[in-house]
Amino acid sequence: MPTDFWGNAIFSLIPTILICIVFWFVLRSIFRADRTARRVYDRIEAEEREKAGLPPKV
């Protein structure tokens, strides 16, 4: 464990920064998965509307 001020500061900030980076990646993947799922759902709904002869959703 470092004994000088800057060593202690860096040593104490590294875990926080790593947790923030992991949290950011998790949220990013959740949002991307949601966006992809919505896009697929919209495509399927449009195909079903076309099969049923309904007008496209606006």
Q: How many CA atoms lie within 13 A of 44 on its CB side?
A: 6
Q: What pLDDT digit, counting tens, does each position of 8-53 carry? A: 999 999 999 999 999 999 999 999 999 999 999 999 999 999 999 9
Q: How far apart are CA 36 and CA 30, in angstroms?
A: 10
How confident is the model at residue 48, as a pLDDT?
Answer: 95
Q: What is the pLDDT of residue 42?
A: 95
Cα dihedral 7, 13, 18, 21 sign: negative
- Specify the pLDDT at position 58: 75
